[in-house]
């Protein structure tokens, strides 16, 4: 599988406080999901993949170019954000918003882009408040597609929409040939759009592998708790306990999930390394037991 973007041992933070720790992650074709509850560091990692946040340590690679030295003009065209509730300029007609993202000579592509995202080209003359939430999100996607990107970085692209509209937008995203990094707390969404997934807890990858296998038989107790907390597509965000204290997350000693883990034993005071277990990578001393459903 071709890797579009790669994080290698990346630590990210604000000021001097790290919030994402030593993450290695490949964005491959077929879609990659980044799953975790609020505050786990998903958006921080997405910002780094968009070149908006420089790692405190580690590197981000775009092909064979280190992002620190890459041609950022080209990169910003190739890697496009689609963020939750992204504001379209309320004063601008949506056709003009899309045209802005196109090269001057290609502005006649607006109707085609609107059609590509399932909208009537007639809507180009409307302003954002004259559209439904689902239509607005389609315009945001059309604008991202205008640049001809190789990769879309989608941060909760459907969570503000009702369930039926959500399903239609997910179908649209699945049909687009573009690569995607999808950030969500909703496992049902990654199940539809991402061949590979990474589960983030307290800024660390605790499990990664083929999405179908992670959903079917999680090897980390946190992945299992997330899966079991999601009743259906469009359900409420899972609540699997309080967020860990930042101090606990940043401490080198011990599994950050241990205070919430039903399987925690004395050994969990020693930080588990990511290791291969049955086709996935997991940071849990008891992964084999979790896989066997204990």
Ligand X SMILES: Nc1ncnc2c1ncn2[C@@H]1O[C@H](COP(=O)(O)OP(=O)(O)OP(=O)(O)O)[C@@H](O)[C@H]1O
Q: Which residues of this chain interact with ligand X, rule CB under 6 A? A: 14, 19, 36, 38-44
Minimum distance, C-beta of residue 233 to ligand X, in the bound complex (Å): 18
Minimum distance, C-beta of residue 149 to ligand X, in the bound complex (Å): 21
Closest CB to ligand X among residues 38, 130: 38
Closest CB to ligand X among residues 40, 135: 40
Minimum distance, C-beta of residue 60 to ligand X, in the bound complex (Å): 16
Q: What are phi and psi of 4, to 5 degrees?
A: -85, -45
Closest CB to ligand X among residues 42, 285: 42
The vertex-102 CA angle with 105 and 71, nearest 5°, equals 105
Closest CB to ligand X among residues 245, 276: 245
Minimum distance, C-beta of residue 41 to ligand X, in the bound complex (Å): 4
- 124: closest CA among 105, 104, 107? 107
Contact 280, 210 (CB under 8 A): yes
Closest CB to ligand X among residues 48, 94: 48
Closest CB to ligand X among residues 99, 214: 214
Check residue 156 and report its DSSP letter: S
Closest CB to ligand X among residues 43, 116: 43
Contacts 24+ apart (CB under 8 A), 57-64: 57/9, 57/10, 57/11, 58/7, 58/8, 58/9, 58/10, 58/11, 58/22, 58/23, 59/7, 59/8, 59/9, 59/10, 60/5, 60/6, 60/7, 60/8, 60/10, 61/5, 61/6, 61/8, 62/4, 62/5
Which residues are within 8 A (CB) of 21 and not within 5 positions of it... i.e. 6 or more apart? 11, 203, 204, 249, 250
- 22: closest CA among 220, 205, 202? 205
Minimum distance, C-beta of residue 271 to ligand X, in the bound complex (Å): 20
Q: Which helix (H) or strand (E) holds 153?
A: strand 151-155
Minimum distance, C-beta of residue 74 to ligand X, in the bound complex (Å): 26
Minimum distance, C-beta of residue 43 to ligand X, in the bound complex (Å): 3
């Amino acid at each position: 599988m071709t890797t579009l973007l790669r994080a290698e041992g990346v630590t990210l933070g604000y000021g001097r406080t790290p919030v994402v720790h030593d993450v290695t992650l490949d964005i491959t074709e077929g879609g990659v999901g980044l799953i975790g509850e609020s505050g786990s560091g998903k958006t921080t990692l997405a910002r780094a993949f968009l070149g908006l946040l420089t790692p405190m340590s580690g590197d981000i690679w775009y092909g064979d170019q280190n992002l620190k030295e890459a041609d950022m003009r080209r990169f910003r065209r190739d890697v496009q954000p689609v963020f939750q509730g992204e504001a379209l300029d309320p004063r601008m007609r949506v056709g003009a918003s899309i045209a802005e993202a196109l090269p001057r000579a290609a502005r006649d592509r607006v109707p085609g882009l609107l059609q590509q995202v399932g909208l009537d080209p007639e809507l180009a003359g409307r302003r954002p408040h004259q559209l439904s939430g689902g239509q607005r999100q389609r315009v945001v996607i059309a604008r991202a597609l205008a640049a001809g990107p190789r990769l879309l970085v989608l941060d909760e692209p459907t969570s503000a929409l009702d369930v039926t509209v959500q399903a239609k937008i997910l179908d649209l995203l699945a049909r687009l040939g573009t690569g995607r990094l999808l950030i969500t707390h909703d496992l049902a969404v990654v199940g539809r759009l991402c061949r590979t997934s990474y589960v983030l807890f307290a800024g660390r990858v605790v499990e990664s592998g083929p999405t179908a296998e992670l959903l079917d038989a999680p090897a980390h107790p946190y992945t299992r708790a997330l899966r079991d907390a999601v009743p259906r597509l469009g359900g409420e965000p899972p609540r699997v306990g309080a967020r860990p204290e930042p101090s606990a997350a940043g401490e080198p000693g011990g599994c950050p999930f241990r205070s919430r883990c039903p399987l925690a034993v004395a050994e969990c005071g020693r930080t588990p390394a990511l290791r291969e277990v049955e086709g996935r990578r997991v940071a849990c001393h008891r992964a084999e037991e979790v896989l066997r459903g204990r």
